[in-house]
Amino acid sequence: MYDYVVKELPKVLSDNFEQLNTSRASIFGHSMGGHGALTIYLKNTDKYKSVSAFSPVVNPINCPWGQKAFSNYLGPAKSDWEEYDATCLIKKCNKISTPILIDQGEDDKFLAKQLLPRNFEEACKAVGAPLTLRMQPGYDHSYFFIATFIDDHIAHHSQFLKSADYQATYLLTLVNDLLSLEMWINSSRLLQNVTVCVCISAVGAACPKHC
């Protein structure tokens, strides 16, 4: 799925929509899709103008979800896991200039043991990577949380996707289900000069190359 998101999908779009400038793209995700968005962005900063996430899994090598998935997909060598961990990847990036936007609900039941946003925050500080981590009181992992702040994420990407020559650009969205997709479609009206919003399942996109 990684190759599909990074290589195959842009080619399909370029081949079928000649007005689309696939060199101007951004990426977003929620939960495990947030993990996928962050890791794909950090491995391909030349391909994406910006990244944002809701409640992402940012340090999977140190959480039960990630340890279970990585041991099954990648085997026992934890050095291999680091290539799919945003907190590990950001430590290797010293040229990130575009702010990373993350929204995290403080009442999220997965926050303490699974999501670990403070680990990512500390890693960003260590390398001087700009991060806007917004801890939102009273919100959990639900779609109401996403619906409340999704316009901010659309606006975040819009400012980096604006094209001087008015070519169409696109925002790649890693979503978990049709409800998330519907919210993105409803909010996409806020995008300026971004005429294509691509939405796919996050299940495979967040997984390692073997998926």
Residue 79 appears among annotated catalytic residues: no
Marked catalytic residue, from 31, 55, 158, 188: 31
Give the domain 2-205 fold: Rossmann fold (3.40.50)
Based on the residue annotation, tell me whether 141 is a catalytic residue of this protein: yes
Q: What's the whole-model pTM score? A: 0.83
Each residue's pLDDT tens digit, 6-54: 888 888 888 988 877 888 889 988 999 899 999 999 999 999 999 999 9
Which of 30, 35, 141, 156 is an active site residue?
141
Q: Assign 75 to helix, strand or coil.
A: coil
Closest CA relative to residue 197, chosen from 185, 180, 179: 185
**Start-end of H helices in 91-177:** 117-127, 143-161
CA distances from 135 to 55, 102, 131, 170 (A): 10, 9, 12, 28
Domain spans in the chain, listed from the N-terminal domain onward: 2-205
The residue count for the chain: 211
The answer to whether residues 139 and 148 touch, using CB atoms and an 8 Å cutoff, is: yes
**The residue type at 147:** A
pLDDT tens, residue by residue, 155-167: 899 888 875 444 5
Q: Which member of 108, 156, 158, 180 is catalytic?
A: 108
